[in-house]
Chains A and B, each alone.
Chain A
Amino acid sequence: MSNLMTGARILVECLLRENVECMFGYPGGVTLPFYDVLYEGKVKHYLVRHEQNACFAAEGYARSTGRVGVCCATSGPGATNLVTGLVDSMMDSIPVVALTGQVTTKLIGSDAFQEADTFGITRACTKHNFLVKTAGDLPQAIHEAFYIAASGRPGPVLVDIPKDVFMGSAHYVPVGTIHLPGYKFSPEGHAGQIRRAAQMIWEAQRPIVYAGGGVIHAGAAGLLRELVETIDSPAVCTLMGLGALPSSHPNFISMPGMHGSYAANMAFTHTDLIIALGARFDDRVTGRLEAFAPHARVIHVDIDPVEIGKNRQADIPIVGDVRRVLEKMNRVVAELAPAQKERNAVARREWKERIAAWMAEHPLTPSVSDAEIKPQHLIREIDRVSGGEAIVSADVGQHQMWGAQFIRFNHPRLWLNSGGLGSMGFGLPSAIGAQIANPGKRVFALVGDGGFQMSIPELATIANYNLPVKIVVMNNGYLGMVRQWQELFYNNRLSAVSLTSFPDAEKLAGAYGFPGRTVEDPKEVGKAIDEAVRHPGPYLLNVKVSQFECVYPMVPAGGAINEMVLGPPKPVAV
């Protein structure tokens, strides 16, 4: 069955077939025909205030649900504004489909009004992209885009659609099968390799499980927990993997890396086996690569063959989907358990004791003061209210690191942050996407005063749709992380990091029609958070924290991860 439709209508049909319930976008000249069909409301469109935030909101939607996030922008500046969001989702492997309008095919290449080479520009920041030339080609391109975005290692896919394609008509033929001969991924994992890995796991005396964002993407959190409990090994989750194992789990030793826990970094340095699951040995995790885990053999499971052997050679590489691989691996591990469990029991007990000692030696402890609001104090209050259940969408910088250190997550898909790209301005729009995807859930936008001001126009979107996002600004009056580096590595020459004239929160939120408040008294922090949460709608909480707090532990750039700076230098008696 087929019938004649306009390209714009075909596009909406395709979106419906992909079960797209909502999208984030900003209209413009060449997308007019598409928006005309959207007027009918079959796909709910959320109007943001900047295209970059449309992509971030789509990411928040995707990160918090695992479904494909959809964003839309017009040609030229609309499309170029998407770029940061696309790179962001590329770095963190987030499934996003971006639809952009393009000038009429006849005008392409003529430097027409609002023309940009979107196809060329976004080549480097997408998993794949399409330029559709006729309305009849739309279904193929759209369904392929969704398939590519969500399968294998997820990522952003952009479809560039000229205005005449929207307006042209074609018989809509639903696409039944996707045929992409050059698109290859192998989810199953090699059975022999999995068996060897299971054997190696029992051979190890000091194993550590290193879980990355891939565990969350694959929906393998339960299997991860099963593995960790069967082999009773310490486990770390990367910044992207937080929540894969509940933060309260006894085997969880927090995040590793530049601002990771002492125990996690020491465990990496002394382990004899790293079980890497959907993680990519990022430089922020490994520190100086040559000094990273010098005694360890490596089992590396990843859906993307490129990641295996990219930074660290693997002794047992397993290309596969973490869930499928863990299903099999857990079975073999359990099979081998009766025969192998006692083999290294003594060594493993000692390993656990060492880990416990490291944890006790330098625990992650929030500093609290009566005189001023310590940033960690604020984070602890958010954690108290959340109880490991709220979605926290963070921006980038110090608050992000403290959030990762101190907020507990009982489940995957609660901690949303720009891990790979580190895009400031991410937190607020991502919270919008997450709140829309999870209307019943508590959503915090945890942002710094810098990043917040990058996406401040989205307060209008929040007000517009009355989204009950709780915006908590950790306000230290500085670009805190940059200031920290200037303090530690540039002789405290604070260059271009002071953020004066932050707007009055009450007036700012009030201008958008929702309550806001500034807190400066440490005794008020808890109450203020409670009040924000009690309020049924959006709330802006501006918390003035101590200005010169630094995030510790810290591995200086280029250092080995066991060479941590654990705290500020002690004041010298004069």
Chain B
Amino acid sequence: MLQTISLLVENKPGALMRITGVLSARGWNIDSLTVARTLDPAQSRMTIVVDIEPVLRRQVIKQMNKLINVLQATDLTDSLAVSREMVLVRVRATAETRTGILKEAEIYGARVVDVSQDGFGLECTGPAEKVEEFIDAMRNFGEIDVTRSGIVAVSMESRKLRVAPPVPAVTEERLSEGLPNC
């Protein structure tokens, strides 16, 4: 199954390598990964989707928390969270298909970001499944080229909301229950 994890990471050299390294060393497959700075330039937010057996989900979080550059690791798979992905699609269009493509794009709320004689560049944002469907829809029109961003996700639970991310509170109880810090 796919597990979505959100990491708050110290923006230090090698941090990304440590995270991907632990995942690959344990034989866990990364489905997607996004990284970008937070409001605090010393920290980055990562959203990683890992393809993993459900029983190992806790292990993933614990392994992430064990890394010294990881300030906070949260499992967003089953929690109240919003996740989005963006895709950029180049689709080849003929005189016959142009209108159809634009109509279909409109249904998915996709925007045209580039137009030429030969076709369109389209941008679509939404939950991964919607993006998936959009890509399928475009494929019907012929040859396409797809670049996906991977998922970014944010928790909607207020206790997980941190405007200025603090040092994670290590609550002994959560730790001893084998639960992640959050």
Binding site for B on A (CB under 8 A): 119-120, 123-124, 127-129, 131, 148, 180-184, 186, 188-190, 192-193, 304-306, 308-310, 314, 317-320
Cα distance, A305 to B177, chains bound together (Å): 9
| B17, B68, B177: the one within 8 Å of A120 (CB) | B17
**CB contact between B178 and one of A128, A129, A182, A308 (< 8 Å): that residue:** A308
Q: Which one of B25, B69, B168, B175 contacts A124 once the chains associate, using CB atoms below 8 Å?
A: B25
Tell whether, in the assembled complex, residue A306 and residue B66 are in contact, meaning their CB atoms are under 8 Å apart.
yes
- Contacts known (A308-B178, A317-B178); A183 close to B173, Cβ less than 8 A: no
> CB-nearest residue of chain B relative to A190?
B176
Q: Give the complex CA separation of A287 and B167 in angstroms.
A: 41
In the complex, chain A residues whose CB is within 8 Å of the CB of B175: 186, 190, 305, 319
Residue of A148, A184, A309 touching B65 (CB-CB under 8 A):
A184
Shortest CB–CB separation between residue B57 and chain A, in angstroms? 11
Determine the distance from Cα of A127 to Cα of B63 in the docked complex, in whole angstroms: 12
Closest to B66 in A: A306
Which B1-31 residues sit within 8 Å CB-CB of chain A? 9-10, 13-14, 17-18, 21, 25
Q: Give the residue of A182, A304, A314, A320 whose beta carbon is less than 8 angstroms from that of B10.
A: A182
A189 to B175, CA, bound (A): 9
Q: Quick one: given A309-B58, A309-B59, are A182 and B177 in contact (CB under 8 Å)?
A: no
Q: Which residues of B32-73 are within 8 A (CB) of A? A: 58-59, 62-63, 65-71
Q: Is B157 positioned at the interface, with any CB of A under 8 Å from its CB?
A: no
Q: Give the residue among B18, B21, B62 with the most A Cβ atoms within 10 A.
A: B62
At the interface, yes or no: B164 with Cβ under 8 Å from chain A?
Answer: no
**How many angstroms between the C-alpha atoms of A309 and B62 in the bound complex?**
11
Nearest CB in chain A: distance from B139 CB, A: 39
- Answer whether residue B129 sits at the interface, using C-beta atoms and an 8 A cutoff: no
CB-CB < 8 A to B65: which residues of A? 184, 305
B176 near A318: Cβ-Cβ < 8 Å: yes
Q: Which residue of chain A lies nearest to B170 when distances are taken between CB atoms in the complex?
A: A184
B52 smallest CB distance to A (angstroms): 14
In the assembled complex, B172 has its CB within 8 A of some CB on chain A: yes
User: Is the beta-carbon distance between B59 and A182 smaller than 8 angstroms?
Assistant: no
Q: How far is the CB of A178 from chain B (nearest CB, A)?
A: 11
Q: Is the CB of B172 within 8 A of A188?
A: yes
* Total A-B Cβ pairs within 8 A: 72
CB within 8 Å for A180 and B68 given contacts A120-B17, A306-B59: yes
Q: List 12 A-B contacts (CB under 8 A).
A: A119-B14, A123-B18, A180-B68, A182-B68, A183-B68, A190-B172, A190-B173, A190-B176, A192-B173, A309-B58, A318-B176, A319-B175
Note all chain A residues with C-beta closer than 8 A to B66: 304-306
Complex Cα distance, B69 from A181, in Å, reads: 8
CA distance A520 to B71 in the complex (A): 60
Can you name 11 extra interface pairs (CB under 8 A) apart from A182-B71, A186-B172? A119-B14, A124-B25, A128-B68, A131-B14, A183-B68, A186-B176, A305-B62, A305-B66, A306-B63, A317-B176, A319-B172
Output the least CB separation between A116 and chain B (Å).
15
B62 → chain A closest CB, angstroms: 5
Listed from nearest, the 3 A-B pairs whose CB atoms lie closest are A190-B176, A181-B167, A319-B175
- Chain B interface residues toward A at CB < 8 A: 9-10, 13-14, 17-18, 21, 25, 58-59, 62-63, 65-71, 167-168, 170, 172-173, 175-178, 181
Chain B residue contacts of A119, Cβ below 8 A: 13-14
The answer for the CA separation of A180 and B66 in the assembled complex, in Å, is: 12
Selected from A124, A193, A306, the residue in CB contact (under 8 A) with B176 is A193
Cβ contacts under 8 Å, A181 to chain B: 10, 71, 167-168
Give CA–CA (A127, B18) in the complex, Å: 10
Listed residue (A119, A181, A310, A320) with the most chain B CB atoms within 10 angstroms of its CB: A181
| Nearest-neighbor residue (CB-CB) of B72 within chain A | A182
Which chain A residues border B70 with CB–CB below 8 Å? 182
Among B14, B68, B69: residue with most chain A CB under 10 A: B68
Q: Is the CB of A186 within 8 A of B71?
A: no
A308 vs B58: C-alpha distance in the bound complex, in angstroms? Answer: 10
Q: Which residues of B contact A190 (CB under 8 A)?
A: 172-173, 175-176
Q: Known: A124-B25, A182-B71, A183-B68. Is A306-B172 also a contact (CB below 8 A)?
A: no
Give Cα A9 to B49, complex, Å.
46
Q: Is the CB of B178 within 8 A of A309?
A: yes
Q: How far is the CB of B176 from chain A (nearest CB, A)?
A: 4
In the complex formed, the residue of A with least CB distance to B71 is: A182
Chain A contacts for B14, CB-based, 8 A: 119-120, 123, 129, 131
Given the known interface contacts A180-B68, A181-B71, the answer about A189 and B176 at a Cβ–Cβ threshold of 8 Å is: yes
Closest Cβ of chain B: how far from A189's Cβ, in Å? Answer: 7
CB-defined contacts of B71 to chain A, threshold 8 Å: 181-182
B129 CB to nearest chain A CB (Å): 31
Alpha-carbon distance between A567 and B9 when the two chains are bound, in angstroms: 54
Report the separation of the CA atoms of residues A189 and B176 in the bound assembly, to the nearest whole angstrom: 7
Q: Chain B residues near A320 (CB, 8 Å)?
A: 176
Q: For the complex, what is the distance from the CA of A273 to the CA of B69, rounded to whole Å?
A: 37
Q: Report the Cα distance A320→B63, complex, angstroms.
A: 17
Chain B: minimal CB distance from A170 (Å): 20
Report how far A40 CA is from B67 CA in the complex, Å: 37
Nearest A-chain residue to B69, judged by Cβ: A182
A129, A304, A310 interface centre (most CB from chain B within 10 Å) = A310
Q: Across the two chains, which residue of chain B brings its CB closest to A179? A: B167
Alpha-carbon gap, A192 to B175, bound state (A)? 13
Contact of B170 (CB < 8 Å), options: A131, A186, A317 = A186
Bound form: Cα–Cα A54–B9 in Å? 34
A318 to B173, CA, bound (A): 9
The CA-CA distance from A492 to B62 in the complex, in Å, is 44
Known: A123-B17, A124-B25. A182 touches B67 (CB 8 A): yes
Question: How far, in angstroms, from A123 to B24 measured CA to CA in the complex?
Answer: 12
